[in-house]
Amino acid sequence: MRHGVAGLLALALLSVPAGAADLEAGKAKAEVCAGCHGENGISQTQNIPSLAGQPDQFIQWQLVFFRAGTRKNEAMKPIVDQLTNEDIRNLGAYFASLQPAKAPPDDDPDLSKKGAEAAAGRRCASCHLDSYAGTKGVARLAGQREEYLVKALHDYKSGQRVGGSQAAMTDVAYPLSAEEITALAHYLAHL
């Protein structure tokens, strides 16, 4: 008897897959998010990001960072305090399943060109993918609200935003000039 009952039980549990996310439950839970993040996860509000089409894992991790208090935001904190791990799993799956926001028509192609050059020089696509759709814990940037992208980059640069996977972005954002941030955000928001 090398394992004992507890050992066998642990082995049995390990072979059970983690509970699959429930999209319908995620959708129901997401009703409280719509007031700020918009219908179908597309924000109409300044400084509030769209969530539609963000990678499942990125959404889940950010919710965990807010709940743990490592990412600080007064609007989000009371919301995440009410969420169980199961809610977070369901919300991640639900928002990831939604159609991302359509980029608005580009009103300043010259600025976008500068942004595209900065993005190439800084190798943003090496993590965010060529489509800027993001993957796993890396955020979607394509079509995100422009002023939110500006805010997020300044928050990393100043060290205000510290999540669990922020180290990469702090290093990336630190050397960016304000002009580069403006151009990058304009370019990405119009993809």
Q: Does 89 bind ligand HEC (CB under 6 A)?
A: no
Q: Does 8 bind ligand HEC (CB under 6 A)?
A: no
Those residues whose C-beta lies under 8 Å from the C-beta of residue 71, and which sit 6 or more positions away, are: 62, 65, 161, 162, 163
Those residues whose C-beta lies under 8 Å from the C-beta of residue 3, and which sit 6 or more positions away, are: 11
How far apart (Å, rounded) are the C-alpha atoms in residues 112 and 100?
A: 20
Interface with ligand HEC in residues 56-75 (CB under 6 A): 59, 62-63, 73, 75
Q: Does 21 bind ligand HEC (CB under 6 A)?
A: no
Those residues whose C-beta lies under 8 Å from the C-beta of residue 46, and which sit 6 or more positions away, are: 145, 147, 148
Note whether 67 and 83 are within 8 A (CB). Answer: yes
Binding-site member from 67, 89, 114, 128 for ligand HEC (CB under 6 A): 128
Stretch that binds ligand HEC, among 2-10, 11-19, 98-106, 132-140 (CB under 6 A): 132-140
Q: Does 123 bind ligand HEC (CB under 6 A)?
A: yes
Stretch that binds ligand HEC, among 9-17, 96-104, 106-114, 150-158 (CB under 6 A): 150-158
Note whether 166 and 62 are within 8 A (CB). Answer: no
- 10 or 68: whose CB is closer to ligand HEC? 68
Stretch that binds ligand HEC, among 8-16, 17-25, 104-112, 167-175 (CB under 6 A): 167-175
Q: Which two tokens stand for residue 138?
A: 């890396």
Q: Which two tokens stand for residue 46?
A: 């300044």
How far apart (Å, rounded) are the C-alpha atoms in residues 134 and 44?
A: 21
How far apart (Å, rounded) are the C-alpha atoms in residues 176 and 155?
A: 12
Binding-site member from 22, 25, 33, 98 for ligand HEC (CB under 6 A): 33
- 104 or 160: whose CB is closer to ligand HEC? 160
Binding positions for ligand HEC, rule: CB under 6 A: 29, 32-33, 35-37, 47-49, 51, 59, 62-63, 73, 75-76, 79, 91, 119, 122-124, 126-128, 137-139, 141, 144, 149, 151-153, 163, 165-166, 168-169, 172, 184
